[in-house]
């Protein structure tokens, strides 16, 4: 750190302070619900390299430190469809349900903003109807094994990002959206205790 400019050290300190206030309490409460993996790899990672940032309490969390979109009023936090597709790619890579992911989330570190999407709501909204996750996992496994994509292809990120169920949470009052049953999205069996 001695080689880093003071401004860079101050910026890192500010990011850490914001995370202690807005992210860490949420992660600690989720860790009580299920195991935590830092930099997790997935069953599909051996065939196509991919690793996430954090999985804790069944939440797959992506951490971003981007500056955000520039507006007349300054910079603004933004989510692009590619980041959402990245998270969904990790969910597909977890085709053995080894991490028991029931929700995906994005923490935008510069803004202290946490957004969470339960898969039981996100997948049907993006697909335009019910989603059978074990069938998707099987198709993904087959694609990884053969290199061939089935009849359905995703060609572009979604035009509209679904609204997250929670944002900028200081202390969760309920973990049911993250740790609960996957509702409209049927899941396979996962780790013991779920």
Q: Which two three-digit tokens encode residue 158?
A: 């979604």
Residue 191 has pLDDT above 90, yes or no: no
Residue with tokens 């969760």: 172
Q: CB of 45 within 8 A of CB of 52?
A: no
Least confident of 8-22, 141-155, 167-181: 167-181
Q: What is the pLDDT of residue 62?
A: 95
The structural domains of the chain, with segments of one domain joined by +, span 6-185
For residue 98, give the nearest of 149, 144, 141, 64 by alpha carbon. Answer: 141
> Strands, DSSP E only, in the chain?
36-38, 54-56, 59-64, 69-71, 74-76, 103-108, 113-118, 131-132, 166-167, 185-186
Identify the pLDDT of residue 109: 92
According to the model, what pLDDT value does residue 170 have?
Answer: 33
How far apart, in whole angstroms, are the C-alpha atoms of residue 100 and residue 122?
Answer: 16
3-state helix/strand/coil string of 52-63: CCEEECCEEEEE
Query: How far is Cα of residue 26 from the mean position of the Cα atoms in its chain?
Result: 14
Give how far Cα 27 sits from Cα of 118, 170, 186, Å.
16, 11, 25
What confidence score (pLDDT) does residue 192 get? 28
Where is pLDDT greater, at 96 or 156? 96
Check: CB of residue 185 under 8 Å from CB of residue 123: yes
Q: Tell me the whole-structure pTM to 2 decimals.
A: 0.74
- Distance (Å, whole) CA 76 – CA 55: 26
Q: What is the mean pLDDT of residues 137-157?
A: 73
Q: Give the mean pLDDT of 158-175.
A: 50
Longest dimension (CA), the chain: 55
Question: What is the pLDDT confidence band of residue 160, given thresholds at 50, 70 and 90?
Answer: low
**pLDDT score for 59:** 96
DSSP 67-85: --EEETTEEE----HHHHH
Supply the pLDDT for residue 151.
55
């Amino acid at each position: 750190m001695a080689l880093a400019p003071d401004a860079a050290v101050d910026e890192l300190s500010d990011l850490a302070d914001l995370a202690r206030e807005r992210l860490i309490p949420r992660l600690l409460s989720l860790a009580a619900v299920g195991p935590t993996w830092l930099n997790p790899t997935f069953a599909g990672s051996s065939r196509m390299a991919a690793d996430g940032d954090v999985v804790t309490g069944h939440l797959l969390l992506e951490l971003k430190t981007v500056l955000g979109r520039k507006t007349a009023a300054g910079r603004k936090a933004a989510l692009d469809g590619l980041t959402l597709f990245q998270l969904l790619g990790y969910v597909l890579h977890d085709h053995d349900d080894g991490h028991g992911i029931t929700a995906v989330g994005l923490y935008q570190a510069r803004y202290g903003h946490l957004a969470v999407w339960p898969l039981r709501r996100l997948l049907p909204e993006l697909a335009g109807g019910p989603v059978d996750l074990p069938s998707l996992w099987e198709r993904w496994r087959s694609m990884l094994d053969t290199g061939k994509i089935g009849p359905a292809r995703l060609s572009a990120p979604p035009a509209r990002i679904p609204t997250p169920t929670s944002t900028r949470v200081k202390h969760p009052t309920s973990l049911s959206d993250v740790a609960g049953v996957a509702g409209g999205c049927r899941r396979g069996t996962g780790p013991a205790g779920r």
